[in-house]
Amino acid sequence: MENREHFQEINALVASIAKALGQDDKQVATGLESGAITLSLGEDENGNRYIEARCGDQTAKVYQGAIRYADGVEPPTDPDAPTAG
């Protein structure tokens, strides 16, 4: 059996970034690999830490348990619905 450290956590992060940017998981994985999507760590004025994802002119923030969507990206009405692609 293959032991992949933090696989589930990384997979969840990629899925959250995909939702936040209105992309599908594969697009986000490809964007991260190519450098088209960049990530940085931040902290808001309330001391809450987040990961900021930038793709072109889109910026989204992923908090633990919450997503601040990029401008123009609407949250899915069904939390289990697939993301746009």
Query: Where do runs of H (alpha helix) occur along the chain?
Result: 7-21, 25-34
Tell me whether residue 28 is in a domain: yes
Question: Could you tell me if residue 42 is inside a domain?
Answer: yes
Does the pTM surpass 0.75? The reply is: yes
Number of compact structural domains in the chain: 1
What span, in angstroms and rounded, lies between the C-alpha atoms of 13 and 37? 13
Per-residue pLDDT tens listing for the chain (85 residues): 467 788 999 999 999 999 999 999 999 999 999 999 999 999 999 999 999 999 999 999 999 988 888 888 887 665 555 544 4
For residue 2, tell me if it sits in a domain. Answer: no
CA–CA dist 57, 78 (Å, integer): 26
The span from the CA of 72 to the CA of 33, in Å, is: 24
47 occurs within a structural domain:
yes
